[in-house]
Structure 1
Amino acid sequence: MASKTYKYFILTGEPGVGKTTLTKKLVKEIVGKGVKTSGFYTEEVRYDRIREGFDVVALDGARGRLARDQNLLKNPVKHKVGKYGVLVEEFEIIALPSLVKPNDSQAHLLVIDEIGKMEFFSEKFKNTIHNIFSPSSDYTVLATIPVRKSDQLIESIRNHKQARVWTVTRENRNSLQEEILNEINKTISF
């Protein structure tokens, strides 16, 4: 019996457990094997060990603000998560262009860290995610999603028949890398 191959490799887990760190390690390893990547990750922004917000960082190095503590913003924002104001337009400027697959036939991995509440304030991003995970999509994706049930689209990703989902914990975050690489390798052979 042949083992099942997947198109979507999904990491979930509690905030701060190490999903982004694991994603970065996986990307470094995959790029080292000659696979093209595009996409983005989100990164905490800290000053004097105090979290001020989050940036969106494209794999090509472009960086922009995703969210900031509202006390640090000059103007009020429409969308908020906790004490953070979400800067939708700045997020879109970096994130949306990074979610494009190259036109060549070379193996490619799309990286989306994270598909979550802040990012979904962008309707353009939400529509793009819907297309990436649609039946006609030819993307191979490594993505992170929140552990808690939330948006219907996120739940459809979590339960997608072509998705393999790993729950990252403090106990397993350093041992999952090989298993995930092996699964991705079945799909894009590196």
Structure 2
Amino acid sequence: MAKKINFFILSGDPGVGKTTLTKKICLLLNEKGVKTVGFFTEEVRRNQVREGFDVVSLNGERGRLAREKSLLSSPAQHTVGKYDVLLQEFENIALQSMRMKPEDNETCVLVIDEIGKMEFFSTNFKSRIKEIFSPASKNIVLATIPVRQSDPLIESIRNNSRSKVWIVTRANRNTIHEEIEREIYKAIKI
């Protein structure tokens, strides 16, 4: 008997549209009465120049995930390229938004955009990801992961027998939402 797919994973190059696609799928699920909880990461731009990233919960709470070093008054402990990662702000929003109530279980989709290098500086976040994707997990998850990553936990998500992975490209990003939505409905039996 085939294992049930519970983990719906979007991967692709940076800037290809994974977050936009995730938001679109959430909107479609919500329109059909499916509850979604979790968070998105969004670019922060000023005068068309990216200066960092925010973490935004599905209920609208916003915090800084990362900013260019030059925009901060003091350096952060962790950096990725030209960005300082603001762990406390990230954890305050992301970890709280990933809490599901017992009544949410099968009728709720947990959205995690993104599971990546910046986010993994948080040991609390990494522990929560291990829980969410554990063999005993009953979570239904829509998540994004980097296309190229050597982290063993991300690779375990990508290769999990309960995961279905879509590679988002400029060619398919406006059309694959229907297939993904259909697969999620199968998992929650709508």
Q: Residue in 2 aligned with 1:181?
A: 181
How far apart, CA to CA, are the structure 1 residues paired with 2:68 and 2:99? Answer: 30
The CA deviation string for residues 81-107 of structure 1, in whole angstroms up to 9 with x for no partner, is 000000001100000011111221560
Equivalent position of 1:97 in the other structure: 96
1:36 aligns with 2:35: yes
Contact 1:35-1:106 at 8 Å conserved across structures: no
In structure 2, the partner of 1:58 is: 57
Instruction: Please tell me whether residue 152 in structure 1 is matched to residue 152 in structure 2.
Output: yes
Q: Which amino acid aligns with 1:101?
A: M
CA contact (8 A) 1:36 1:106 kept: no
Whole-Å separation in 1 of the counterparts to 2:5 and 2:100? 18
1:110 partner letter: L
- The percent of aligned pairs where both chains have the same amino acid is 60
Asked if 1:172 corresponds to 2:172, the answer is yes
Misfit runs of 4+, over 4 Å: none
What amino acid is aligned across from residue 13 of structure 1 in structure 2? Answer: G
Rounded to whole Å, the distance in 1 between the matches of 2:161 and 2:3 is 10
**Alignment correspondent of 2:108:** 108
Amino acid paired to 1:92: E
Structure 2 gap segments, 5+ residues each: none
Mapped to 2, the partners of 1:102 and 1:34 lie a distance apart of 17
Tell me what 1:47 maps to: 46
Distance in structure 2 (CA, Å) of the matches to 1:99 and 1:38: 6
- The answer to whether the 8 Å contact 2:106/2:139 transfers is no
For the 8 Å contact 1:10–1:165, the answer to whether it is kept is yes
1:5 and 1:186 in contact (8 A); partners too: no
The CA distance in 2 between the partners of 1:150 and 1:176, in whole Å, is 26
Task: State the Cα deviation string for residues 151-185 of structure 1 (Å, max 9, x = none).
Answer: 10000000000000000000010110110011101
- Using a 3 Å threshold, how does the CA distance of structure 1 residues 148 and 53 change in structure 2: closer, same or farther? same
- Secondary structure of the residue aligned to 1:39 is strand
Residues 43/96 of structure 1: CA separation in 2 closer, same or farther (3 Å cut): same
Whether contact under 8 Å (1:13, 1:167) holds in the other structure is yes
Q: Which residue of 2 aligns with 1:132?
A: 132
Normalised by the size of structure 2, how large is the TM-score?
Answer: 0.96
Measured at CA, do residues 137 and 106 of structure 1 come closer, stay the same or move farther in structure 2, by a change above 3 Å?
A: closer
Q: Is the 8 A contact 2:106 2:140 kept in 1?
A: no
Corresponding residue pairs, total: 189
SS in 2 for 1:15: coil
**Residue 5 of structure 1 contacts residue 183 of structure 1 at CA under 8 Å; is this kept in 2?**
no
Question: Using the alignment, how far apart are the partners of 1:189 and 1:168 within structure 2?
Answer: 25
Cα offset for 1:4?
6.2
Partner of 2:141: 141
Taking structure 1 as the reference length, what is the TM-score of the superposition?
0.96
Matched, 1:88 2:87: yes
CA distance, structure 2, for counterparts of residue 111 and residue 67 of structure 1: 20
